């Protein structure tokens, strides 16, 4: 038996860090939404007690370091499943990009194995399992658009933002999420983006308001470490994107664009100095 799952990328429309917690994680306030750029998973049941990961992508781990492997092992152990699974990952989301590709693969694995092995695990419980794998996994389990608090695992679903084009550009640099959080000084943040204002703009279907209230306090850290991310932001603004922000810990920069007629110009302009550029729709 085989199951197929799509694992979409997320972007952070706003991300604020409130303080560092005793457990080392940071208390955050984020509004996240999905975009139509997705990995594809094929999950095939194996009669023997084993987990195999394969992928066309040569640059991700295929052993127990892979988040899909960890998700499969967690669900097998917790529900005492004796059969195994072969998971093929068709990677399309850029890796270590701030787009939660690995987290979304883990979430899709939880959803897919719940169906493949007919476990009947409710969504809330799948999210709790997801939280054991990473802070962004619970959001990826259900997707849509949500306000995320705690370390990112406490979710309040909200409306989707008005549909638009999303142009994503990932510069060829590596950013470590742990390092970026490690460099945040939460008592020294000049401007805190407002989750309330972003949520109001979304609920009102106000595209201009969404663009005006984009904000990510991790930008300051990543931009200092990698000035080319700032250049990419400036290029996207110059080319005419309506709102521009770095996603998560970066280094991907996204631009929200309402008019299709502008998308080709922005896409082609960015391709001039960045190999990994994508023009996709927001997911409703
Ligand atoms: C920054 C964000 C924004 O959505 O995304 P990415 O840039 O990774 O896509 C997330 O908060 C990333 O979530 P995720 O990538 O799942 O992080 P985790 O594996 O849970 O944690 C990786 C490391 O980041 C730090 N971390 C993560 C989340 C958080 N609220 N506070 C933290 O300090 C911790 O040092 C942790 O060891
Ligand atoms: N299924 C997976 N897809 C991509 N990366 C993975 C996966 N499993 C583990 N990883 C590892 O996780 C790290 C972060 O990857 P990713 O989830 O793409 O980052 P981000 O959350 O910044 O978008 C990478 O260094 C990669 O080696």
The response to whether 101 counts as a known ligand-binding position is yes
- 88 C-beta closer than 6 A to ligand 2: no
Beta strands in 171-213 (DSSP E): none
Span 38-67, average pLDDT = 96
How do residues 12-28 score in pLDDT, each as one tens digit?
999 999 999 999 999 99
- Coil vs helix vs strand at 29: strand
Contacts 24+ apart (CB under 8 A), 114-117: 114/75, 115/3, 116/1, 116/3, 116/43, 116/45, 116/85, 117/45, 117/75, 117/79, 117/81, 117/83
Protein residue with least CA distance to atom 9, ligand 1:
98
What is the arithmetic mean of pLDDT over 65-81?
Answer: 98
**CA 70 to centroid of ligand 2, rounded, Å:** 12
pLDDT at 284 over 90: no
160 SS3 class: coil
User: Residue 190: its pLDDT value, please?
Assistant: 87
Copy the structure tokens of residue 222: 């990543």
HSE toward the beta carbon, residue 73, CA cutoff 13 A = 13
- pLDDT-derived band at 259, boundaries 50, 70, 90: very high
**Active-site amino acid positions:** 10, 136
Q: Is residue 95 in contact with ligand 2, taking CB distance under 6 Å?
A: yes
- Ligand 1 atom with the smallest distance to the CA of 20 is 33
* Closest ligand, as measured to the CA of 109: 2
In terms of Cα–Cα distance, which of 184, 153, 172 is closest to 249? Answer: 184
pLDDT reported for residue 224 = 96
Task: Say if CB 106 and CB 134 are below 8 A apart.
Answer: yes
201: enclosing H helix or E strand: helix 195-203
pTM over 0.90: yes
Interface predicted TM-score (ipTM) of this complex, two decimals? 0.98
- Mean pLDDT across the chain, nearest whole number? 97
Q: What is the mean pLDDT of residues 182-208?
A: 95
What spacing in Å lies between the alpha carbon of 39 and ligand 2's midpoint? 12
pLDDT of 272 > 90? The answer is no
Which domains are assigned to the chain? 2-158 (3.30.230.10), 165-281 (3.30.70.890)
Atom of ligand 2 nearest to the CA of 91: 3
Mutate-to-test residue for ligand 1 from 18, 20, 135, highest number of ligand atoms within 8 A of CB: 135
Residue 151 near ligand 1, beta carbon < 6 Å: yes
Contact 162, 207 (CB under 8 A): yes
Cis peptide bond prior to 251, omega within 30° of 0? yes
pLDDT in tens, 90-108: 999 999 999 999 999 999 9
**φ, ψ of residue 45 in degrees (nearest 5):** -70, 140
């Amino acid at each position: 038996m085989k199951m197929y799952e799509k694992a979409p990328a997320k972007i952070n429309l706003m991300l604020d860090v409130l303080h560092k917690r005793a457990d080392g994680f940071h208390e955050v306030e984020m509004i996240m939404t999905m975009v139509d750029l997705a990995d594809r998973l094929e999950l095939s049941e194996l009669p023997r007690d084993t987990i195999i990961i394969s992928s066309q992508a040569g640059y991700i781990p295929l052993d127990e370091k892979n988040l899909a492997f960890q998700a499969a092992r967690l669900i097998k152990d917790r529900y005492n499943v004796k059969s195994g699974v072969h998971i093929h990952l068709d990677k399309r989301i850029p890796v270590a990009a701030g787009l939660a590709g690995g987290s979304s693969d883990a979430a899709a694995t939880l959803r897919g194995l719940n169906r493949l092995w007919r476990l009947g695990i409710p969504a809330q419980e799948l999210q709790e399992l997801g939280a054991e794998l990473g802070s962004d996994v619970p959001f990826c389990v259900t997707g849509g658009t949500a306000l995320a608090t705690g370390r990112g695992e406490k979710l309040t679903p909200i409306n989707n933002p008005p549909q638009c084009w999303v142009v994503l550009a990932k510069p060829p640099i590596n950013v470590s999420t742990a390092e970026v959080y490690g460099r945040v000084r939460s008592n020294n943040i000049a401007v805190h983006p407002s989750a309330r204002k972003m949520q109001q703009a979304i609920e009102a279907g106000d595209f201009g308001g969404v663009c005006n209230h984009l904000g990510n306090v991790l930008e300051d850290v990543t931009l200092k470490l990698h000035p080319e991310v700032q250049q990419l932001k400036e290029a996207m603004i110059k080319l005419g994107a309506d709102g521009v922000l770095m996603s998560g810990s970066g280094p991907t920069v996204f631009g929200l664009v309402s008019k299709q007629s502008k998308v080709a110009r922005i896409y082609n302009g960015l391709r001039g100095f960045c190999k990994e550029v994508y023009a996709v729709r927001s997911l409703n």
